[in-house]
């Protein structure tokens, strides 16, 4: 089955620890995205990547980092510099930056 996988589904971390969220797609999509969603809020773009080895900051990149070494993978690291990391993190991919995006199931991160 083609799709986007994110792991883990739930993640708990202590304050001050860096944590990396996984996102993999087998749709052969060029573009990949990371969003954050807080309760009752819309999607906020953290980072996106149009092609391998290239990525751009979104609206709320501070405290996050990404890499795009492979077309299929776009991991997100939430660093200790992110002041309020507890949120629902969604990864998405699309054929191109202006095409429809398809989302993974998300990772709920709780920082204690």
Partner 1 sequence: RKEVEQDPGPFNVPEGATVAFNCTYSNSASQSFFWYRQDCRKEPKLLMSVYSSGNEDGRFTAQLNRASQYISLLIRDSKLSDSATYLCAVNMGSTLGRLYFGRGTQLTVWP
Give, as ranges, the residues between 47 and 106 that touch partner 1 (CB under 8 A).
Answer: 48, 50, 56, 58, 88, 90, 94, 97-106
With binding defined as CB under 8 A, does residue 42 bind partner 1?
yes
Q: Are 110 and 45 in contact (CB under 8 A)?
A: no
Q: Which of 101, 78, 82 is nearest to 91 (CA)?
A: 101
CB of 57 to partner 1, least distance (A): 11
With binding defined as CB under 8 A, does residue 22 bind partner 1?
no
Nearer of residues 13 and 108 to partner 1, judged by Cβ: 108
For residue 28, how far is the Cα from the chain centroid? 17
Q: Are 9 and 22 in contact (CB under 8 A)?
A: no
Question: 38: which DSSP letter?
Answer: -
The pair of structure tokens assigned to 110 is: 């709780």
CB of 24 to partner 1, least distance (A): 15
Q: Which residues bind partner 1 (CB under 8 A)?
A: 33, 35, 41-43, 45, 48, 50, 56, 58, 88, 90, 94, 97-106
């Amino acid at each position: 089955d083609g799709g986007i996988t994110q792991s883990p589904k739930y993640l708990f971390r202590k304050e001050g620890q860096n944590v990396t969220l996984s996102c993999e797609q087998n749709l052969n999509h060029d573009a990949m995205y990371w969003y954050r969603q807080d309760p009752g809020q819309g999607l906020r773009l953290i980072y996106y990547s149009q092609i391998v080895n290239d990525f751009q900051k979104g609206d709320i990149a501070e405290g996050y980092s990404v890499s795009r070494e492979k077309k299929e993978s776009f991991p997100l690291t939430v660093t200790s510099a992110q002041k309020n990391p507890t949120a629902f993190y969604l990864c998405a991919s699309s054929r191109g930056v202006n095409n429809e995006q398809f989302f993974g199931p998300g990772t709920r991160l709780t920082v204690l």
